[in-house]
Amino acid sequence: MTGSDRRDAIVAKIKESDAPVAGKDLAASFHVSRQVIVQDIALIRAAGHDIISTNRGYIINEPSSVSRVFKVRHTDTQLEDELNSIVDLGGIVCNVIVNHKVYGRLEADLNITSRRKVAEFVSDIHSGKSSPLKNITSGYHYHRVEADSEKTLDLIEEMLREKGYLVQQEVSVQHRDNGDAEWKK
């Protein structure tokens, strides 16, 4: 393993850990001395990673988030419930996307992070400033939702399904024998 490969593996190991990673444990994992790990950490920091040394080991100070796109459909009266339900479970509604048959893909940033922002958004809609983008596609739209973990996104997906907002997406499946595509729900 090269030094560069080892440093990449050190960063990955620290990111994956739920607790600080001790330098002696890193040294043992990579069969190098503790001093080599100290030098590697200095090089990793110089490369732009915010590695913090604690009395229990190294941690990385990088925000971690994951995102998923959900295809949903609901009425205007359900709009507030949909958005509140997502933020209540720890999600951030980053945007809304529609695929219009004439105009193509239209996307608007939302960045809805709290019930307060949901209330502001809904107030703007009700005040007549505009109507929801979903209305130009019979209610069908997508949201990219960001969260702290896949588990949180799974909870959001389950909630959207239970409330009837989640649209089952069709998936194209290629058959190996004849190459024909079959659509499944």
Q: Which two tokens stand for residue 109?
A: 């940033």
What pTM value is reported for the model? 0.61
Strands 140-147 and 104-112: unpaired
Provide, rounded to the nearest whole percent, the portion of the chain with pLDDT above 90: 74
What is the pLDDT, as a whole number, of residue 169? 62
Average pLDDT, rounded, for the chain: 88
Q: Sorting pLDDT into bands at 50, 70 and 90, what band is 129?
A: confident
Do the first three CATH levels of 3-60 and 66-167 match, i.e. the same topology?
Answer: no
CA distance 116 to 121: 9
Instruction: Tell me how far apart the 2 most distant CA atoms of the chain are, in Å.
Output: 66
Q: Give the CATH number of domain 66-167.
A: 3.30.1340.20
Is residue 110 within 8 A of residue 94, CB to CB? The reply is yes
What are 34-47's pLDDT values in tens digits?
Answer: 999 999 999 999 98
CA–CA separation, 78 and 141 (whole Å): 14
Domain boundaries, the chain: 3-60, 66-167
Nearest to 165 by CA among 43, 95, 45, 71: 71
Torsion from C-alpha of 150, 154, 155, 161, nearest 10 degrees:
160
User: pLDDT tens digit string along 15-28?
Assistant: 888 889 999 999 99
Q: Which amino acid is at 78?
A: Q
Q: For residue 177, what pLDDT is reported?
A: 42
CATH number of 3-60: 1.10.10.10
- 168 band by pLDDT with thresholds 50, 70 and 90: confident
pLDDT value, residue 63: 67
Average pLDDT over residues 71-75: 96
Instruction: Look at residue 126 and give its three-state secondary structure.
Output: helix
Q: Give the model confidence (pLDDT) of 132-163 as tens digits.
A: 989 899 999 999 999 988 999 999 999 999 99
Secondary structure (3-state) at 60: strand
* Segment 96-124 mean pLDDT: 94
Element (H, E) at 145: strand 140-147
The pLDDT, as a whole number, for residue 64 is 66
